[in-house]
Amino acid sequence: MSRSDDARATAYDASPFLPRDGGLDAYRRAAAKCQGCPLYENATQTVFGRGDPSARVVLVGEQPGDQEDRQGEPFVGPAGRLLDKALAEAGIDRGSAYVTNAVKHFKFTVPERGKRRIHKPPTLREMSACRPWLGAELDLVRPEVVVALGATAGKALLGGSFRVTKDRGSLLPMPGAEQERYVVATVHPSAILRADDREAAYAGLVSDLKVAARVLNGS
Ligand code: URA
Ligand code: SF4
């Protein structure tokens, strides 16, 4: 990597695109024009969070997938359907939640001779570039509990030492929060679709989501 590449690389940052004030709608409109990292170049559109602006629970995924990129909404593809089912089973109403992603643009490759767009994990630089949007969403919604779906969301919320295996399923204090607000981490719904033992993986997701549900039910 040349020196000038390096200088440009360290400049990945969504902050200059954030509005100075306004509600979620103002942030959504501004995020639609974000060029804070190169991911906007090949994706169809920014996929900002959706849901109840005063939700008590926020669910955070990794980044939009193929369907989300086309439709402009988070978790509307296969992973979203699985998530909806698990949420219902855990007693969390998706309609009263706010759902978003750690990274707001779809990152993918198109294999030679292929047509299907294959998901690629975001890099640390892209994750930190996009972090201000998630920060703004959490500041505006102020949920009591945030569910981190998978490692990318976990790292965005809890820092680089986060590990799903070690940290999942328990009530963790929300970093920087002045009162009782929590993070609950679990696996990413897509990981369940790929798991050898899907049933066990799914049961694990539901059981972690129930930890968040208990906060909401005050028990
Ligand atoms: N996977 C995610 O992490 N987020 C989505 O919105 C869809 C799939
Ligand atoms: Fe901006 Fe995030 Fe999209 Fe990068 S991924 S362009 S930081 S919205």
pLDDT tens by residue, 120-178:
999 999 999 999 999 999 999 999 999 999 999 999 999 999 999 999 999 999 998 87
3-216 in CATH: which number?
Answer: 3.40.470.10
CA of 53 to the centre of ligand 2 (A): 21
CA dihedral 92, 98, 104, 108 (to 10 degrees): 20
Measured from the CB, is residue 80 less than 6 Å from ligand 2? no
The answer to whether the beta carbons of residues 88 and 95 sit under 8 Å apart is no
pLDDT tens by residue, 65-110:
999 999 999 999 999 999 999 999 999 999 999 999 999 999 999 9
Measured from the CB, is residue 108 less than 6 Å from ligand 2? no
- In this structure, what are the phi and psi dihedrals at residue 143, rounded to the nearest 5 degrees? -75, 160
* In the chain, where the domains are located: 3-216
| Closest approach atom of ligand 2 to CA 37 | 4
